Amino acid sequence: MKKPVYLTPEGYRRLQEELNHLKTTKRQEISADFEQALEEGDLRENAGYDEARRAMWQNEARIAQLEDLLARAVVVEGNGSYEQVALGCQVELETESGERLSLAIVGSHEADIFSGKISDESPLGQALLGKKVGDVVEIRGKKGAQVYTILEIKPL
């Protein structure tokens, strides 16, 4: 049995939209590319045809991947009370130097550090899970320890 895929409602919606786009719009674009390549004649030396085939394979592979993810999806909407850090929460942290940091705790398929979304499976995500406001979390890494104080837990 495959592992469940934890997604926020927003993440689930985005994957559904991507799947719909690939199945409709992208397939139509690839079909048009095939038609154009066929009009050009000899398929043995037709770069357009080869490119359309490659695009089709990539598209179909991504469709299969998205269908698998969505079939295993478990949509999480935070823990309701926000008394402790859980999947689907926004966490406000403060570093030892006083810098404030806002992170969303999401499943690994939604993680994007540049958007402030960290995986519940990451070292920081694992350390934060189950902690409460006021708790101090220490993460040890190659460059030493990083210490964070939890200031606030709220819904995404």
Domain for residue 82, yes or no? no
Mean pLDDT lowest among 45-49, 64-68, 88-92, 138-142: 45-49
147 occurs within a structural domain: yes
Tokens of 117: 């979304």
Q: What is the distance between the alpha carbons of residues 5 and 10, in angstroms, rounded to a whole number?
A: 14
| Whether residue 61 is found in the same domain as residue 12 | yes
101 and 64 belong to one structural domain: no
- Model confidence at 117: pLDDT above 80: yes
- For the chain, the domain total comes to 2
The two three-digit tokens of residue 115, written as one number: 């958007």
Position 84 in a domain: no
Residue 145 domain-assigned (yes or no)? yes
Q: Amino acid identity of 7?
A: L
Q: Check which CATH number belongs to the domain holding 104 and give it.
A: 3.10.50.30
pTM over 0.95: no
pLDDT in tens, 5-22: 999 898 999 999 999 999
Confidence band for 77, pLDDT divided at 50, 70 and 90: confident
What's the one-letter identity of residue 133? V
Cα–Cα distance, 9 to 39 (Å, whole number): 44
Q: List the domain range (segments joined by +) for residue 98.
A: 89-155
Pick the most confident of 23-27, 48-52, 109-113.
23-27
Residues 53 and 104 in one domain: no
**One domain for residues 93 and 133:** yes
Q: What is the mean pLDDT of residues 124-152?
A: 92
Q: Are residues 17 and 69 in the same domain?
A: yes
Domain of residue 58, CATH code: 1.10.287.180
For 92-119, what is the mean pLDDT? 93
Residue 65 shares a structural domain with residue 113? no
| Residue 20 CB contacts under 8 Å (≥ 6 apart), including other chains | none
